[in-house]
Structures are given as structure tokens and as C-alpha cells.
């Protein structure tokens, strides 16, 4: 596949803190690359360096095969950015905002109007065209923020946590829109600390912590990195320490925890783990409410690699 | 791109209520308050002609200087009744005059009570006596022609008239009131409040100042185009604001800005430019929040206007007399003084000096801003 972005040994320090530490990665045409990491892991700083907004100490950045710089206008024409913070003019309506930002890229007025209408449709703001930003809910505002960033139909899109503080309905709308953009041929870099979004959207994921890449690959490849293969959770009112210790000695069990009324048993491998656990609970006459089995998540991978949760 | 950005900047500026208040509404409100306040003060402070009497004894008749001076002041400052001392005393007792003058060895002022008229009379007589003495000594040491002597005499009379504000020197044949200075400072304030427009447009366009700035910075539009077109929009809005103020003060408050409208407009254009460039400088150089920067602009503008006489004309004279350098670096003083020069002087050298000072001030502001404006990448945003 064709490389769209090539980052080599990128290092960014600020006030003695190394925010990005020797980062190297590639982004390929047509893929959605997820940059996953907790707050302060260096995701946004990396994006700002890629966009030539921030100075960096070492490293090189090539976009579309050319060196990226603040005056690389030919590259910039093909880039769309949706920042984490909502960046719109409060004095302009929804349509005027999208039209203004689109106009920074598209000179032709007729074409611009078509693009603006398409962007409004993509984010589902048809009924709010004449609304001012202050009249919109948080979710609708986020949608406007996205429309302003992608209305000019860029080939490469940076989405920096676009769903922060968004209601579920708007989140689904945004995620659907992003899929549509990819289907239309855009390459997307998506930063988030919501692992569920990454699992739904991303073809490839880079996990960052303290400015470093700690793992990368497809979501399935990353899950292979986790020692566990299955996680069973049981809602149970009370269980003794002896029983927990006894369960730890079961075949394939990696760990057993009881936190806030939930018994979590993780298995390294094996089949029929759930059935064996239910049999044990019945035999010991332990009353339970819900019981469910899950595959390991990226959060488990992160936990495995760093010893902390993604949302810490 | 330039036109697109200019149009959008105009739209955002004209819809920004806070900016509109400070640049459009506030000067008009303040102008109205000035008008209401100073109208009364001015009418109260107008001096009437003072009724006096002069004892026409032999000494008086022989003193050509004094009799000439008082002949000149007759009607403008004094209404004079000539007669004997008894007649003067009778008039004074009947409160028909404020005081009378009697010349023996010295010129004496006789008054019966204290008041403004009596103070003015005493002050004028002291001035005349002192100047008369000086002139006598000069004439003794260096005899001059009669023509030169009278020139000096008229100069002295003019000085007395001016110092007592009986009649301000009037070149344009218009009635200039000293409260005009207040309106000049009001124009200066409005020009400098344009700094808020400069601040806003720069803040909206720099990546290290606002989220919108970040979005604009990643677009393929060159930074200079965005900044220049936005600043131009800010300037246009400022001019609309000042035009409204001129129209309001001229047609509603009947403030007279003189006959040389073109020079008035040119001075205002330069004043607005100075205000805008000051805002741009504050926006780029100070690393504080937008609200703090707005506060700095308001505080700086009010201080400049205060020093140029907005809260009392005495301040302008005090600065002129004691720290004239302050007026040379105060943009409000440059604007106020430009208007003052247009009105008071028949030559334009002082006006052009003020204009040039404003230009240099603006240039300095822009030069200070350029380093920061040229920056393309930041350490942090």
C-alpha cells in the first residue's frame, strides 16, 4: 500500500518534559489508523507536530511523499483537521462556519456550496443550518466541528478525539460519518482514549504511553499480546477468600478478582471455561445474577503492557 | 482567499456585541454624557463684562500706557465709568461696580467684597502694572519707536485677554469652546479602542491564541493574507464606528470640528490606524488571556485619554507645562493635539507633526508585532 505519512524518530520536548519520544510510524492510503493512549500520552502533540504547528527537536515528517512544513500549501490543501477543541466562530451560523472554513481551501464558489451541503448532510445538521453555535447542544457542536474540518473533501483527515463529551446518538452519527469518509477514499488518523471506538473503526492501532509507542498492529494482533484469552464476569453477592483461592487453582485460570460485587475470572486459554465455572458455582451453592464471557479488549492489552488502565 | 477572509471577518466583527459596544455604543454614550455635563459647566463659567470705575485724576490722564490699555479692554473685559473718587465710591456702595481704580504713586484697586469679578480685576491690574514697569525700563534702556512700543502694548493686551478667557483667539471664525478638548479626547479614545478590534482579529487567526487560529493555521491560506485581510476588516469596522460618532456629535450634539474636514478625516484615519496597530501589538506580545489583553487595552486607552485631558482640561496643560515628553509618546495626546492644532493655528506644522508622530507610533507597534506574527511554529499551543 502507498505510504501517506512517514514519521521517523520524532522527538518533542517542552520545558524539560519529553512529550513525544523517538516516534516512528507510517500511515497507509485508505486506512484508519488509531492513536490510542491515556490523556497526556502524546497523541495530540504528535498530531500538532505532524501538522507543523509545533516545533520538534529531532525527526522527519513526510506527507504525500513531501517534507511537511508550515508553508507546504500543496500538502495542506489535501489535509483536513478536526481538533479536540471546538473551533468555530460564535458569530456565524452553522452554514456560514462550514462555508468559511471550506473557503480557505476551495476558491470556486459553486463547488464550495456543493461541498458545504454535502458536509452538512454527512454530519446530519440539515435542520440546524441557520443556528448559531451557542444554540447547539454539545453533540451537535461536535458535529459542526467535524463538518468544518472535512467539508473540503481532504484526502488525509486528522480526527483528534472528536467524540469527547458527546451523547450516544451524536457519537454513532460521528462514527458512521467517519466510516463513510474512509469508504470514499480518505486516509484517517484517529486519536482517542475510547478503546471501543478504536475497535469499531480502526484498521490499525498504535498504542502510546508517555510519548512512546508501546504496541502497534491491527486490533486482533494487539489482543494477541495479552496473556489472556477469555474473561468471565459474574455478579455475585458474597464469596469467601478461600473459594477465590480455590478458583485460582483451576485449569487455564490466569487470575481471579472480586471487586464491588463482580467476580472476574481471566483465562489464559482453553475451551468451555464458562461451563466449568457455572458448574463450580452450582456445586458450591453460590447464588449469582448475571454471568457473561468476553474476549480481551485493548484496555486489557494496555493494562498488560503498562500496568494501568487507559482511562487512568 | 483575501476577499473571502475579509468578508467573513467583517461579518464576525459586526456581529460581535462586546466589540460593538466598546467601539460603537460606548463613545456615543460618553459623548452624550459629556454634552450634558459640560453644557451646564460652560454656561456657568462664561465671564460677564465686569463693571468698574476709574478715578480720572491728573495722574491717570498723564499715564498714556494705562489709559491706552484700559481703552482696549473696555467692552471686552470691563465696562468702565470714569469720574471722581466720590462718584466711584458711591457706585461701589450702590453695588453698581465691582471695584474702582485710582492712580497715585501706584495703581490701587478698591473693592468692597470678595468674588470672581474682584479677583479678575485685581489680577488684571497686577499684570498691567508689572508689564508697564517692564516696558518703561526697556524704553529707558533701549528707546524704541512708537510703533514697536504699541506693538508690545497690544501684545500685552492680547495676553491679558487670553489669560482671562474672555475671548479665545478665533482663527476660523467659529465659536471654539474649551470643552471641545473633551470631544477631541473622545475621538482619540474611540480611535484607540480600535485596539480591541486589532486584538480580536489577531487572536482569531493565530494558532497559539485560539482554536480557530489553529484551524486557520493548518489551512493552505498564507498567514499574511489572513492577518492582513482580517486587520483590514477591523479597520473598516473602526471607521464605521468613528463615522457614526462624528455624525452623532456633529448633528445631534452640534459639536463643531472646524472647516478643514479633509484634514479632520485624515487625522482620524491615522488615529484609527494607531489604535488598531496598538491592539495587534498587545495581542501578539503579551502572553496572557484575551480578557486580560482587553483589560490592558481599556486601561491603557483610558490612561492616555486622561493624560490628554479627558477628565479635566487642566491635565493637558499640566503635562504640556511639566512633562511635555509625555504628550509626544501618548497616542491620545497626538490625536487630541492634532485636532487642537487644526482649530487653533493658521499654520499646519503642528498638525503635521502630530500626524507624523501617530504614524511613527503605529509603525513601532507593527514592527514590534511582526516578529511574533511571522512565527509559523510554536513551542506549545
Superfamily of domain A227-295: YebC, transcriptional regulation domain (3.30.70.980)
Residues of chain B with pLDDT > 90, as a percent, come to 41
For chain B, the distance separating the N- and C-terminal CA atoms, rounded to the nearest angstrom, is 25
CB contact under 8 A, B211 and A85: yes
Interface mutation target, options A40, A46, A53, chain B, most CBs of B under 10 Å = A53
Beta strands in chain B (DSSP E): 50-55, 78-83, 99-103, 107-111
Task: Compare A9 and B73 and report the one with higher pLDDT.
Answer: A9
The whole-angstrom distance between A121's CA and the closest CA on chain B is 21
Q: Name residue, grid cell 479635566.
A: B312
pLDDT digits (tens, 9 = 90+) for A52-106: 999 999 999 999 999 999 999 999 999 999 998 999 999 999 999 999 999 999 9
Query: Contact A91/B16, CB-based, under 8 Å?
Result: yes
The whole-number pLDDT of residue B165 equals 41
User: Of B88-102, B125-139, B182-196, B260-274, where does mean pLDDT reach its minimum?
Assistant: B125-139
pLDDT band at B133 (very low <50, low <70, confident <90, very high): confident
Instruction: Indicate whether B171 pLDDT > 50.
Output: no
pLDDT on residue B40: 66
Distance CA B214, CA A74 (A): 18
**A chain contacts of residue B218, beta-carbon cutoff 8 Å:** 51-53, 76, 79, 81
**Is the backbone of residue A59 left (phi > 0), alpha (psi -120 to 50) or beta?**
left
Nearest to A91 among B12, B207, B376 (CB): B12
The torsion region of residue A165 among left (phi > 0), alpha (psi -120 to 50) and beta comes to left
For B118, what's the count of Cα atoms within 13 Å in the CB-facing half-sphere? 12
- What mean pLDDT comes out for the span A162-172? 84
CA distance B206 to chain A (A): 11
| Chain A residues closer than 8 Å to B205 by CB | none
Give the integer Cα–Cα distance in Å for A175 and A165.
Answer: 14
Q: What is residue B169's predicted lDDT score, i.e. its pLDDT?
A: 35
DSSP H/E element including A7? strand A3-14
* CA-based nearest distance A94→chain B, Å: 13
Return all residues near B116 (Cβ < 8 A) that are at least 6 apart. B47
- The residues with which A294 forms a beta bridge, in sequence order, are A231
Closest CA to B268 of B298, B247, B296: B247
* Number of Cβ pairs < 8 A linking chain A and chain B: 86
Interchain proximity A53–B211, CB inside 8 Å? no
| B11, B218, B381: residue with CB nearest A79 | B218
Q: What is the CATH number of domain A3-224?
A: 3.40.50.300
CA distance A11 to chain B (A): 13
Residue B146: count of CB within 10 angstroms of its CB: 7
pLDDT at B178: 62
- Cα of A151 to nearest chain B Cα, Å: 12
- CA distance linking residue A9 with residue A25, whole number of Å: 9
Grid cell for residue A224: 494477541
Q: Which three cell numbers stand for residue B227?
A: 492577518
Q: Where along chain A do its domains lie?
A: 3-224, 227-295
Tell me the shortest Cα–Cα distance from A270 to chain B, in angstroms.
50
Q: State percent of chain A over pLDDT 70.
A: 99
Element (H, E) at A56: none
Interface test with B, best of A13, A91, A99, A157 (most B CBs within 10 A): A91
Q: What angle do CA B57, B59, B63 make, to 5 degrees?
A: 120
| Residue from B294, B361, B295, B372 nearest B327 by CA | B361
| Farthest CA pair distance, chain A | 75
Chain B residues lying within 8 Å of A70, measured CB to CB: 217, 223, 376-377
Q: Are B129 and B106 in contact (CB under 8 A)?
A: yes
Segment of A18-22, A265-269, B71-75, B306-310 carrying the highest mean pLDDT: A18-22
Q: pLDDT confidence of B49, banded at 50, 70, 90?
A: confident
Say yes or no for a CB contact (<8 Å) between B219 and A76: yes
pLDDT of residue A132: 97
Q: What digits encode the pLDDT tens for the residues A218-259?
A: 988 888 877 777 889 999 988 898 989 999 988 889 889 898
Q: Which domains does chain B have, with CATH numbers?
A: 2-41+173-374 (no CATH), 50-163 (3.40.190)
With cut-offs at 50, 70 and 90, classify the pLDDT of residue B345: confident
Q: Are B211 and A77 a contacting pair at CB < 8 A? A: no
Q: Which residues of B touch A81 (CB under 8 A)?
A: 215, 218
E-state strands within A193-301: 204-209, 212-217, 230-236, 253-259, 262-267, 288-294
On the question of pLDDT at B170 being above 50, the answer is no
Cα(A144)–Cα(A190) distance, integer angstroms: 17
Q: Which residue of B has its CA nearest to A53?
A: B377
- A17, containing H or E segment: strand A17-28
- Give the Å distances, CA to CA, from B106 to A227, B12, B103, B109, B135: 117, 74, 6, 10, 16
Contact yes or no for A101 and B4 at CB 8 A: no
pLDDT > 90? residue A3: yes
Amino acid at each position: 500500500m502507498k505510504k501517506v505519512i512517514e514519521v521517523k524518530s520524532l522527538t518533542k520536548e517542552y520545558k524539560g518534559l519529553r512529550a513525544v519520544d523517538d516516534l516512528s510510524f507510517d500511515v497507509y492510503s485508505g486506512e484508519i489508523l488509531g492513536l490510542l493512549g491515556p490523556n497526556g500520552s502524546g497523541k495530540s502533540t504528535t498530531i500538532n507536530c505532524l501538522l507543523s504547528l509545533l516545533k520538534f527537536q529531532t525527526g522527519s515528517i513526510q506527507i504525500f511523499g513531501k517534507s511537511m512544513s508550515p508553508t507546504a500549501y500543496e500538502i495542506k490543501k489535501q489535509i483536513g483537521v478536526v481538533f479536540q477543541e471546538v473551533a468555530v466562530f460564535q458569530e456565524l451560523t452553522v452554514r456560514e462556519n462550514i462555508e468559511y472554513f471550506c473557503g480557505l481551501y476551495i476558491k470556486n464558489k459553486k463547488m464550495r456550496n456543493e461541498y458545504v451541503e454535502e458536509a452538512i448532510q454527512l454530519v446530519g445538521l440539515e435542520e440546524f443550518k441557520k443556528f448559531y453555535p451557542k444554540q447547539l447542544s454539545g453533540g451537535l457542536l461536535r458535529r459542526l466541528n467535524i463538518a468544518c474540518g472535512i467539508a473540503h473533501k481532504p484526502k488525509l483527515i486528522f480526527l483528534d478525539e472528536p467524540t469527547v463529551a458527546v451523547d450516544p446518538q451524536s457519537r454513532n452519527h460521528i462514527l458512521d460519518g467517519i466510516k463513510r469518509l474512509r469508504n470514499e477514499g480518505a486516509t484517517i488518523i484517529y486519536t482517542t482514549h475510547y478503546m471501543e471506538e478504536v475497535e469499531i473503526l480502526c484498521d490499525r492501532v498504535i498504542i502510546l504511553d508517555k510519548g512512546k509507542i508501546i504496541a502497534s498492529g491491527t486490533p486482533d494482533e494487539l489482543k494477541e499480546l495479552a496473556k489472556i484469552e477469555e474473561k468471565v464476569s459474574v455478579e455475585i453477592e458474597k464469596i469467601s477468600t478461600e473459594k477465590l483461592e480455590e478458583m485460582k487453582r483451576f485449569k487455564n485460570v490466569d487470575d481471579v478478582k472480586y471487586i464491588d460485587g463482580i467476580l472476574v475470572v481471566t483465562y489464559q486459554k482453553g475451551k468451555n471455561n464458562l461451563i466449568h465455572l457455572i458448574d463450580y458455582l452450582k456445586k458450591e451453592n453460590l447464588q449469582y445474577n448475571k454471568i457473561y464471557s468476553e474476549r480481551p479488549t485493548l484496555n486489557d492489552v494496555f493494562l498488560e503492557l503498562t500496568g494501568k488502565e487507559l482511562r487512568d | 482567499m483575501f476577499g473571502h477572509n475579509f468578508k467573513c471577518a467583517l461579518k464576525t466583527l459586526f456581529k460581535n456585541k462586546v466589540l460593538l459596544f466598546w467601539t460603537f455604543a460606548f463613545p456615543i454614550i460618553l459623548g452624550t454624557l459629556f454634552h450634558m455635563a459640560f453644557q451646564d459647566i460652560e454656561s456657568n463659567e462664561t465671564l460677564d463684562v465686569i463693571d468698574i470705575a476709574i478715578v480720572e485724576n491728573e495722574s491717570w490722564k498723564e499715564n498714556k500706557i494705562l489709559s491706552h490699555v484700559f481703552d482696549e479692554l473696555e467692552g471686552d473685559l470691563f465696562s468702565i465709568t470714569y469720574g471722581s473718587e466720590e462718584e466711584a465710591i458711591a457706585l461701589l456702595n450702590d453695588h453698581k461696580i465691582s471695584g474702582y481704580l485710582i492712580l497715585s504713586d501706584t495703581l490701587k484697586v478698591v473693592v468692597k467684597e470678595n468674588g470672581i469679578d474682584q479677583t479678575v480685576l485685581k489680577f488684571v491690574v497686577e499684570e498691567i502694572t508689572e508689564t508697564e514697569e517692564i516696558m518703561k525700563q526697556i524704553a529707558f534702556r533701549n528707546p524704541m519707536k512708537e510703533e514697536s512700543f504699541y506693538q508690545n502694548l497690544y501684545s500685552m493686551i492680547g495676553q491679558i485677554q487670553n489669560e482671562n478667557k474672555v475671548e479665545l483667539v478665533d482663527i476660523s471664525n467659529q465659536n471654539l469652546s474649551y470643552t471641545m478638548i473633551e470631544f477631541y479626547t473622545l475621538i482619540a479614545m474611540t480611535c484607540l479602542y480600535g485596539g480591541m478590534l486589532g486584538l480580536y482579529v489577531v487572536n482569531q487567526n493565530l494558532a497559539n491564541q485560539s482554536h480557530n487560529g489553529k484551524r486557520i493555521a493548518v489551512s493552505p491560506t498564507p498567514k499574511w493574507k489572513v492577518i492582513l485581510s482580517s486587520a483590514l476588516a477591523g479597520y473598516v469596522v473602526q471607521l464605521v464606528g468613528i463615522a457614526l460618532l462624528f455624525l452623532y456629535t456633529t448633528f445631534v450634539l452640534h459639536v463643531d470640528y472646524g472647516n478643514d474636514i479633509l484634514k479632520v478625516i485624515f487625522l482620524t484615519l491615522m488615529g484609527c490606524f494607531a489604535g488598531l496597530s496598538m491592539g495587534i501589538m498587545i495581542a501578539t506580545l503579551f502572553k496572557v488571556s484575551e480578557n486580560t489583553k482587553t483589560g490592558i487595552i481599556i486601561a491603557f486607552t483610558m490612561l492616555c485619554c486622561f493624560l490628554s485631558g479627558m477628565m479635566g482640561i487642566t491635565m493637558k496643560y499640566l503635562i504640556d507645562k511639566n512633562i511635555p515628553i509625555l504628550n509626544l509618546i501618548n497616542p491620545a495626546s497626538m490625536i487630541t493635539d492634532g485636532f487642537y492644532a487644526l482649530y487653533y493655528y493658521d499654520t499646519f506644522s503642528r498638525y503635521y507633526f502630530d500626524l507624523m508622530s501617530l504614524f511613527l507610533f503605529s509603525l513601532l507597534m507593527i514592527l514590534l508585532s511582526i516578529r511574533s506574527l511571522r512565527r509559523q511554529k510554536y513551542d506549545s499551543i
